Amino acid sequence: MVALVRRISRVCLFIGLFLVSMRFIHTYPLPMPVNQQHYLIAISEIFGVRDYDGFYLSAVTLINLIAACIEYALIMRVWKHIALRRKDATAQ
């Protein structure tokens, strides 16, 4: 039962990190300048995508997913480090 609660809390943490990254990580200023629009269209044509807005949204979602994975990994490392320090402190 404890393992299930830990897994659910980890999934909720990851989803929360992903939602925060979707809210605050942007790859362009609003509104997008004309030269960046041209780059976006050129890159989407290189990948063979006609809908460059959809291509942009997919790329931003992928970037945010990668950022959330990195944040999650860092939080888990810090959490394990703190847990080991607590365990060592109580053992002495």
pLDDT tens-digit profile, the chain (92 residues): 899 999 999 999 999 999 999 888 876 667 888 898 899 999 999 999 999 889 988 988 999 999 999 999 999 999 999 999 988 888 77
Count of C-beta atoms within a 10 Å radius of residue 40: 17
Under 8 Å between Cβ of 27 and 63: yes
pTM: 0.80
- Residue 36's pLDDT is 87
The whole-number pLDDT of residue 91 equals 76
Report d(CA 76, CA 47) in Å as an integer.
35
